[in-house]
Amino acid sequence: MPEQKRYTDSGIEIKPVYNKDSVPGDELPGEFPFTRGIQPDMYRGKLWTMRQYAGFSTAEESNKRYHYLLSQGVNGLSVAFDLPTQIGYDSDHAMAEGEVGKVGVAIDSIDDMETLFKGIRLEDVSTSMTINATGFILLALYVAVAKKQNADLKKITGTIQNDILKEYAARGTYIYPPKTSMRIITDIFEWCSHELPKWNTISISGYHIREAGSTAVQEIAFTLSNGKAYVKAALEKGLDINVFGKRLSFFFNAHNNLFEEVAKFRAARRMWAKMMKELGATDQKAMMLRFHTQTGGSTLTAQQPLNNIPRVTIQTLAAVLGGTQSLHTNGYDEALSLPTEEAARIALRTQQVAAYESGIADTADPLGGSYFIESLTSEVETKAWELIHKIDAMGGSVAAIEEGFIQNEIAHSAYEHQRLVESGEKIIVGVNKFQSKEEETIPILKVDDSIRQLQTEKLRALRSKRNPAKCDNILQQLNDKAHGGDNLMPIVIEAVENYCTLGEIADTLREVFGEYK
């Protein structure tokens, strides 16, 4: 009986064996095109940043979780915001009802932002913020809090996701039309290059593309295409690719197919280096693909949730063997609710065991030279370039999104994955095989609906203490500058420092730019 063929999740056939003929020429870590990593010694010099994603309920509650995580060995914070904050509504807006504090922390004003980081010196911690449509407002709030702490803005480090293109393609938390959103993003690039030089101005995200159902190949192809669109927009604005290129970062997903995931990360580095060189970068640092990884939320199951611990472990190995710069590991309970403190601790310990006990951090690119990995890296790259060339032929990512091409490709892959699970061709342990009847009692973190009332009272107090005429004047200036094409960052920082709310700033720009439907 002939042996059945095997494939990765992206449809690449896996040969029974690989030999030296499968492997391209020798490359070294820290050298162009960085397939084997961006530092010559990788984790021997410095471990990846253990950056646990957290944020729920109020700024007070999230602040407690940040202090707990920092006490447990986390060395980078990562902030999750609730849906109203993500789409530019204050907590007391009708559209915010039922969503305040649910999937992240509610941030309406500088008072909330100050509370969120109470007792944390922003000069001493690197903060990542998963925020897109309102990314410029949250960055302004962070800068305003840093200034109140008398921090040196030249030393402030962190990242805003700020990747709006994947919102149109996969996630949906956009406000303004694509071209307007690109203008805001390049304003951030420009302002940060002068005022906040160590800040990563964008985290070009494949994570949500993968969560929406893409394959590994589609994840890097669509993400790098979006990256190319941002670079071209910045070049059109007259910015220097060797300056802003160093502050671009990426955000990828880690799934369970260990070897394909490692190959994906290696291929992405090689492709980005080539892409940036073609776009005119001459500084090696501007060609390096630096990325954060989060383990795959969509791989977590509500059935037998403790099975998610080994899943997250495999995904952790994939991210580290693939050369990530920072990592968030999901809690085993996240298919049920926001992670409890216990689940968050086990997730962090998974990274720490990998870092200090497994030996995988002892050498750069430990799988480099494996016939299988090298061949798979090249095959992932070839398939990803095919997709990128299709997108280029349409006029780039913005055009491909407007035509629905990227969305349709993701939807087709998501459908195919679900079909394989339902037919039993793809096994998900505890879901379509090895089910058990025992009921597991997993503690769940619940966010109370009273959070909205608390936030509404805070907003009332804020509006009563501020100077309303000054706020009106600043919001009018914001309107004028939006019409006039000025860089928006300075006036947005002035607005938040004078107690204008996130919703008021977003609404002022809604009046100018309109909303994308």
How does pLDDT run across 240-289, given as a tens digit for each residue?
Answer: 999 999 999 999 999 999 999 999 999 999 999 999 999 999 999 999 99
How far apart (Å, rounded) are the C-alpha atoms in residues 261 and 186? 31
How far apart (Å, rounded) are the C-alpha atoms in residues 36 and 262? 11
Residue pair 114/145 in contact by the 8 Å Cβ criterion: yes
Residue pair 91/106 in contact by the 8 Å Cβ criterion: yes
How far apart (Å, rounded) are the C-alpha atoms in residues 440 and 420? 27
Q: What is the pLDDT of residue 443?
A: 81
Confidence band, pLDDT 50/70/90 cuts, at residue 100: very high
Sequence-ordered alpha helix ranges (H) in 341-498: 341-357, 371-394, 397-402, 405-423, 451-465, 468-484, 489-497
Confidence band, pLDDT 50/70/90 cuts, at residue 24: low
Q: Are strands 202-205 and 199-200 parallel, antiparallel or unpaired?
A: unpaired
Strand partners, 205: 251
Cβ count within 10 A of residue 408: 11
- Backbone φ/ψ region at 485: left (φ over 0), alpha (ψ -120 to 50), beta: left
Indicate whether this model's pTM tops 0.85: yes
Kindly tell me if the per-residue pLDDT of 187 is higher than 90: yes
The answer for residues whose C-beta is within 8 angstroms of residue 487's C-beta and 6 or more apart is 187, 190, 191, 481
CA atoms within 13 A on the CB side of 389: 6
Residue pair 272/287 in contact by the 8 Å Cβ criterion: yes
Q: What is the pLDDT of residue 55?
A: 76
How far apart (Å, rounded) are the C-alpha atoms in residues 90 and 286? 37
Cis, peptide link before residue 178, omega less than 30° from 0: no
Kindly tell me if the per-residue pLDDT of 198 is higher than 80: yes
Q: What is the pLDDT of residue 57?
A: 84
21-30, 53-62, 379-388: which has the minimum mean pLDDT?
Answer: 21-30
Kindly tell me if the per-residue pLDDT of 18 is higher than 70: no
pLDDT digits (tens, 9 = 90+) for 305-335: 999 999 999 999 999 999 999 999 999 999 9
The whole-angstrom distance between residue 389's C-alpha and the CA centroid of its chain comes to 24
Kindly tell me if the per-residue pLDDT of 21 is higher than 80: no
CA atoms within 13 A on the CB side of 351: 28
Confidence band, pLDDT 50/70/90 cuts, at residue 15: confident
Walk across the sheet containing 291-295 and list its strands: 199-200, 158-160, 127-130, 76-80, 49-54, 326-328, 291-295, 248-254, 202-205
